[in-house]
Structure 1
Amino acid sequence: MLNTLFSEIFSSTTETIAVPQFLLGIAVALVIGIFLAAVYSYKTKYTKSFVVTLALLPAVVCVVIMMVNGNVGAGVAVAGAFSLVRFRSVPGTAKEIGTIFLAMGAGLICGMGYLGYAVLFSLILGIAMFILNKVNIGADKRLEQDRILKITIPEDLNYTGAFDDLFEKYTVKYETVSVRTANMGSLFKLTYNVTLKNPNDEKDFIDDLRCRNGNLEISMARQEITNNEL
């Protein structure tokens, strides 16, 4: 029975794919695409357009391969023509690109007629991706301590070294990102990248800074990894 399940559904003796086989291939590819989209969206920031595209991508690749009668070389050439149009308006993350390749691989296997292998391949890789998301492997705990600090000071306060003692007390490291004037030059706005020693001391850190800058505006936000980083 296993040999039948994992055998090719398309007959090698004919160049025409029967309609039931064609529909079965698309149906399996769509189910695989929906499964991969659901797994990808678990604990991941995503857009609706990307998830919908991911669900449809295996079926699209499947049809391309079926229309070239399983000729992988011709199928890759057709897919290469599609790549002349940018897939997305912004560069994707490594996870997005990897999931796209996963969906395309599953669609290629479906298009070759090996539906059992396509389902098995998708289940193994999908479960692996779910587990890796669940355990949050590769997460950098230091990101929870990284902050963007913005301080407003009066013009008569020399900002060079004005907060060094507080930075030494509350941060592991810090660097000045930018300095600009505001309010007709009567204020300076300073921006720093800092890594806190203990995130729980954030309020104490801000309170000490307020005593130093005359209780002017201070803001602190988490640093975020940009979407175009791999």
Structure 2
Amino acid sequence: MESFFSAFVSSGTDTSLSIWGAIGYALVACVLGIIISVTYMRTGVTSKNFARTLIVLPVLVCVVMLAVNGNLGTGLGVVGAFSLVRFRSLQGSSRDIGFVFFAMAIGIVCAIGELLLAGIFTVLICVIHIILSVCKFAEADSNEKDLRITIPENLDYSEIFDDLFAKYTKTHLLLSVRTTNMGSMYEIEYRIKLKNDLEEKKLLDDIRMRNGNLTVICGRCDMSDVGQL
């Protein structure tokens, strides 16, 4: 593969590629991006737009690196600026962020001409993702649920629901507390395991009676979260 693409390198300088050489590198980056995107779709919850972006991202990174004519520092600066668009628009999960850096890294490796290395590491990292997905490594218990409760600021949240948790849950863990509605309310997030799933409505009703009928949300926890019971 390396000898094939070396034919596209112009004879002027080592850092300059002909237009066909650049297209060749970009096509390889696109193929590897497809592999990365398929792995993303097969190993967890998927987003259509994000899966498509993973195909395009290595190509864009590769083109940017080639456009700066081998100046690695300038290329990384421009690519870093582009990557901020993702994080400013929507906070992704750690898995999404990992795939972003994966795709960017492969694009950079393709741009410097190490096509074989890019292919090897794409396959290796994708295989690792597939193995971890099949083995369900570090996945949360499917019986765990996230419970979000809103309470007025005049209530002490430290032990207000302990008796209800003792009655309805096997285990409970306080994950976070944050202020909301201009500081007039608190939003408390717990990770719980119910003793009996059929009693979920009773738990929510009892909580609503105690928090003044403010918002209560209970649902399956995000499997990508690291906080487990």
- TM above 0.5, yes or no, is yes
Equivalent of 1:171 in 156, 169, 172: 169
- The 5 A counterparts of 1:194-205 are 195-196=192-193, 198=195, 201-203=196-198
The residue aligned with 2:222 is 225
* CA shift digits 1:92-149 (9 cap, x unpaired): 11111111111011000110111111111111111111111221211122x5233649
Q: TM-score, normalised by structure 2?
A: 0.66
Q: Distance in 2 between matches of 1:209 and 1:69?
A: 61
* Structure number with bigger Rg: 1
87-96 vs 118-127, which deviates more?
A: 87-96
Native 8 Å contact 1:65 1:75 kept in 2? yes
* CA shift digits 1:60-87 (9 cap, x unpaired): 1111111122221121122234356455
In structure 2, stretches of 5+ residues that fail to align are 150-159, 178-187, 206-215
Native 8 Å contact 1:8 1:113 kept in 2? no
Q: Distance in 2 between matches of 1:121 and 1:148?
A: 40
Shift of 1:203: 2.3
Native 8 Å contact 1:171 1:195 kept in 2? yes
Higher relative contact order (CA 8 A, sep 6+): 1
Native 8 Å contact 1:10 1:17 kept in 2? yes
Shift of 1:22: 1.6
In structure 1, stretches of 5+ residues that fail to align are 151-160, 178-190, 211-218
The residue aligned with 1:185 is none
The residue aligned with 1:33 is 33
Distance change >3 Å, CA 37–CA 175, structure 1 → 2: closer
Distance change >3 Å, CA 23–CA 137, structure 1 → 2: same
Shift of 1:4: 4.8
C-alpha RMSD of the superposition: 4.2
Distance change >3 Å, CA 23–CA 162, structure 1 → 2: closer
Q: Distance in 1 between matches of 2:82 and 2:204?
A: 55
